[in-house]
Structure 1
Amino acid sequence: MKPVTIYTTPTCPYCRAAKALLDEKGVDYNEINVESNMERRAEMMSRSGRRSVPQIFVGETHVGGCDDLYELERQGGFESLLVS
């Protein structure tokens, strides 16, 4: 299974929703808190081209944010992305 990385902040409701879906599916993930870590925030922005959180990656593939993750799940593509 490819590693999942999620860039978050502690107070973000979309971050909590995205993590809840990952937890529900039993997916382990590496959470990176970018609230006060400017180096990690810059890393997130460089990788994703976005400033908002969450930003979710499966391996090197940028899934996007919370809505993108839920849409990928609705379309049935999340599991295949994890193993492809």
Structure 2
Amino acid sequence: MQHVKIVVYTTPTCPYCKKAKNYFKQLGLKFKEYDVSKDQKAAERMYKKSGQLGVPVIEIGNQIVVGFDKAKIDRLLGIN
């Protein structure tokens, strides 16, 4: 399953960011995390890709998931 690149755009105080990161850890999936409160370039990249300023924004391959949408995450990862 870990053939897809996962990027999570987060902030330290976001509870749904924590849920998303914990979910990927439970699945044993590696992901790259960007703290958009400290990384302006990552924040700009996140906004360009998603049109969103809120977090989490999750990139799975070339697909964007806004928020912790577990059903969509599972679908993109091929989990039933």
Please classify the TM superposition score into its range, dividing by the shorter chain length: 0.7 to 0.9
Instruction: Give the share of equivalent positions with the same residue, in percent.
Output: 31
Can you give the 5+ residue segments of structure 1 that lack an aligned partner in the other structure? none
Q: Does 1:79 align with 2:64?
A: no
Residue of structure 2 equivalent to 1:39: 41
Shift of 1:72: 2.2
Can you give the 5+ residue segments of structure 2 that lack an aligned partner in the other structure? none
- TM-score in terms of structure 2 length: 0.85
Cα offsets for 1:11-66 (capped at 9, x unmatched)? 11110011111111111000011012222111100011111001001111112211
Shift of 1:80: 2.0
Counterpart code for 1:15? C
Give distance in 2, aligned partners of 1:20 and 1:80: 18
RMSD: 1.7
Give distance in 1, aligned partners of 2:66 and 2:37: 18
- TM-score in terms of structure 1 length: 0.81
Determine if contact 2:55/2:66 at 8 Å carries over to the other structure: no
